[in-house]
Amino acid sequence: MDLFEMRQIGKTDMRASALALGGGWLAPPDQDDSVGINLVRRALEMGINYIDTSPSYWESERLIGEALVGVSRESYYLSTKVGTHPDRPKDYSPASLRWSAQQSLKQLNVDYFDILLIHDPTEEDVEAILAPGGGLDEMVQMRDEGLTRYIGIGVRSHEWHKRAIKTGKTDVMLTYMDYTLVNQSAAQDILPLAAQRGVGVILGSPLAGGLLGGREPDDAKLPRDWRDQFEAAHAMWQWCKDRGRCVRDFAIQFCLALPMQGVVLSGPRNVRELQEVVDSATKPIPQELWDEFQREFGIVPAR
């Protein structure tokens, strides 16, 4: 599988590597800064040209900004998020969204974003965001001003995704943990709508929050509503282990095979984990093994 195939993102002019780099785990508090910086630089060297982050991911923005010093701005795409800045958490007012974007420009040491996403609003926030003069209109204004080239949404609520897409104002959506080996709910509604409206897709967490990362899934700290996903993930892990395979190979390739105008966003913690994802994406899986997997779990990659 060609994980560095350049894919069109919706109706934008962006052609990004099929595998993108997520910044959610590259700057945990217990990790030296150099680990995250080296991760970003190695991803760029490998041909990954799309990087996503957020001010809510610890020091991710700052480290990405340091890693990109001296790198041509035209050689990569960069997205970040507003609405969940740790200094103004869950504040989706127009003024705070703009303030957050301006802080992120400083942290990332860039003049503009390629994509700016509204991040994780609750259902209670949606009405105010979509109201005339609300947060979404402020995002449109920032796009018109050139602060960001494109705007979008990065949430878990399918209803909010659908409402935002139907406004015609958004260019991109980031969906999270709902197109994986253990949950394909996005394929039922929001992915078809995005394709119909020409909205690009950033497919987040192909490893289902680590459940499909390769190690035996552990449910000790999982939210209760992950129970079904955990049980499915554990069964898949065991099935792969019995055959001398890694479930991560199946998980990554399943997502990369989805025909969409967008990319798959993986969030490794370090260069070693990045290499694991790349190896899984490119390791051959015989068709007969996929056929057996389908018979066992009822899941087959889209074609």
Is 1 a member of any domain? no
Mutual angle of helices 94-108 and 60-67, in 10-degree steps: 40
Is 11 a member of any domain? yes
CATH number at residue 254: 3.20.20.100
What is the extent of the structural domain holding 118?
6-297
Nearest to 48 by CA among 79, 6, 9: 6
pLDDT of residue 303: 65
Is 303 a member of any domain? no
- Is the pLDDT reported for residue 220 higher than 70? no
User: Band of the pLDDT at 159, cuts 50, 70, 90?
Assistant: very high
- The per-residue pLDDT for range 84-113, each reduced to its tens digit, is 999 999 999 999 999 999 999 999 999 999
Nearest to 266 by CA among 192, 188, 207, 182: 207
- The per-residue pLDDT for range 236-293, each reduced to its tens digit, is 999 999 999 999 999 999 999 999 999 999 999 999 999 999 999 999 999 999 999 9
**Range 107-136 average pLDDT:** 94
In angstroms, rounded to a whole number, what is the distance separating the alpha carbons of residues 123 and 125? 5
pLDDT of residue 1: 56
Paired sense of beta strands 50-52 and 77-82, if any = parallel
User: Cβ(183)–Cβ(208) under 8 Å?
Assistant: yes
157 Cβ contact list (under 8 Å, min separation 6): 121, 123, 126
Is 183 a member of any domain? yes
